């Protein structure tokens, strides 16, 4: 009798399970041989650095005359394009980045210089950014000129790389 009861239970279980699986499949419900186990998961969001921070680092390295650090931040083929303005006169000057870096390295320790950023604004998407700054440039603690800087940056290898620099230099009359 015990054998007959065990056989009945097994057959009833199989019949019930088959009907449940058939009903689940008919209604589009997925079936699993084992129930999925919720697992702990951690969502890691990596924040992209702000392009403004890259420009601030550029000026920190500029003031320190750290041409090696500057070179790592700048695409080697770019030109620095400047427009000098004195009264009604406008002069455009283009300098290869290597010439710009050599000029920075050649400034003697006896000369102080500082480019004070006044206002900073930027526009950015996931791969390209433009950063604009107004500035005052001091040479041996005297105001030399004012102007605007425009930086174009690309996001390459998890960091912002400067791919273009243009500036104005407005001198008193």
Q: What is the pLDDT of residues 26-55, one digit of tens each?
A: 555 555 555 555 666 677 666 789 999 999
Residue 79 burial (CB < 10 Å; 0-12/13-18/19+)? middle
The tokens for 92 are 């455009």
The SS3 assignment for 144 reads strand
Confidence of residue 73 (pLDDT cuts 50, 70, 90): very high
pLDDT in tens, 81-103: 999 999 999 999 999 999 999 99
Residue 11, Ramachandran bin (φ over 0: left; ψ between -120 and 50: alpha; else beta): alpha
pLDDT in tens, 119-153: 999 999 889 999 999 999 999 999 999 999 999 99
pTM equals 0.72
**Distance between CA 32 and CA 20 in Å, rounded?**
12
pLDDT in tens, 147-166: 999 999 999 999 999 999 99
Over its C-alpha atoms, the chain yields an Rg (Å, rounded) of 33
């Amino acid at each position: 009798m015990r054998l007959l009861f065990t056989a009945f239970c097994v057959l009833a279980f199989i019949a019930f399970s088959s009907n449940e699986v058939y009903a689940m499949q008919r209604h589009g419900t997925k079936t699993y041989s084992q129930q999925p186990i919720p697992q702990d998961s951690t969502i890691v969001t990596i924040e992209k650095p702000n392009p403004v921070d890259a420009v601030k680092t550029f000026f920190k390295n500029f003031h320190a005359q750290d041409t090696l650090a500057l070179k790592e931040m700048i695409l080697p083929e770019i030109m620095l394009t400047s427009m000098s303005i004195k009264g009604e006169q406008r002069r455009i000057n283009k300098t290869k980045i290597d010439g710009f870096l050599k000029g920075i390295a050649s400034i003697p320790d006896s000369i102080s210089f500082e480019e004070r950023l006044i206002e900073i604004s930027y526009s950015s998407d996931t791969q390209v950014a433009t950063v604009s700054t107004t500035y005052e440039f001091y040479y041996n603690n005297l105001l030399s000129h004012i102007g605007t800087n425009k930086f174009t940056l690309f996001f390459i290898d998890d960091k912002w790389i400067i791919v273009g620099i243009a500036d104005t230099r407005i001198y008193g009359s």
